[in-house]
Amino acid sequence: MVANSLNDLTNRVALVTGAGVGIGRAVALALGTAGAFVGIHYQTSEAGAAEALAELQQRGGTGMFLQADLTVEQEAKNVVDRLVAQAGRLDVLVNNAGSPVRMIRIEDCPSEHWRHVFDVNVHSAFYVTQQAIPHLRASGHGSIINNLTLSVQTGGAGGAGPYAAAKGALQVMTRTLARELAPQVRVNANMPGVIQTRHHETFSTPQRMDEYRKQTPLDRIGAAEEVAQAVLFLAGDAASFITGALLDINGGRFLR
């Protein structure tokens, strides 16, 4: 466990949505290893969430499962309520849950799919965040980190346009919340580039992944643990004067 550090989250409580796999799982482990009690949310990845909690406990950390479909408003709100009822507070919210669902060009996109992608990536975060705000305000260390995607900058090539548009909305929501919730709560976002997770196993071919690597100045694909360390930084007191920021984690593939 982390001690005597600006990244020390001892006695704090964190909620990580979509924490059964990939970046969310790595974030849950990083926050828990830093001392936080972690609410590990999942919708369908029960086995992954169980493995994450078991690994966290092996590291000396603590947490709990929170199963819910966050596109359903009451289920999303119940996740926050259940965590606070168990842990007594909420200090950190990581809105990580999201997915392209499937790849489709906007010109071919049925309106039902468009709405579903926004439900999965924007509305779910809205429901959870709205319910979490009073607890985060009361925390004294309130922090929200929203997980975006490099597709916001690239435009969502290969049929990721609806996903990019939804994550773009989440980016604007980040800035709005940073203004509305200051000074009690800091709100930031990270924008991962190509990270080796189940996401790319599903939506990218090995050939495409090699192209991504060649386009990246650091000449490799990122790891979920590297994103998790950036989230840990934004969550803790080391980032106490940072709000409304967007942190690129892409190996130089996109330079501002």
pLDDT tens-digit map of 47-94: 999 999 999 999 999 999 999 999 999 999 999 999 999 999 999 999
* Domains of the chain, residue spans: 13-194+223-249
pLDDT tens-digit map of 220-236: 888 999 999 999 999 99
More confident site: 109 or 201: 109
Residues with a known catalytic role: 163
What is the per-residue pLDDT for 3?
Answer: 46
Fold of 13-194+223-249: Rossmann fold (3.40.50)
One DSSP character per residue, the chain reads ---SSTT--TT-EEEETT-SSHHHHHHHHHHHHTT-EEEEEESS-HHHHHHHHHHHHHTT-EEEEEE--TTSHHHHHHHHHHHHHHHS---EEEE------S---GGG--HHHHHHHHIIIIIHHHHHHHHHHHHHHHHSSEEEEEE--THHHH--TTTTHHHHHHHHHHHHHHHHHHHHHTTTEEEEEEEE-SB-SHHHHHH--HHHHHHHHHTSTT-S-B-HHHHHHHHHHHHSGGGTT--S-EEEESTTSS--
- Give yes or no for residue 4 having a pLDDT over 60: no
What is the per-residue pLDDT for 212?
Answer: 79
Percent of the chain with pLDDT over 90: 80
pTM higher than the cut 0.85? yes
Percent of the chain with pLDDT over 70: 96
pLDDT tens-digit map of 102-154: 999 999 999 999 999 999 999 999 999 999 999 999 999 999 999 999 999 98
Q: How confident is the model at residue 200 (pLDDT cuts 50, 70, 90)?
A: low
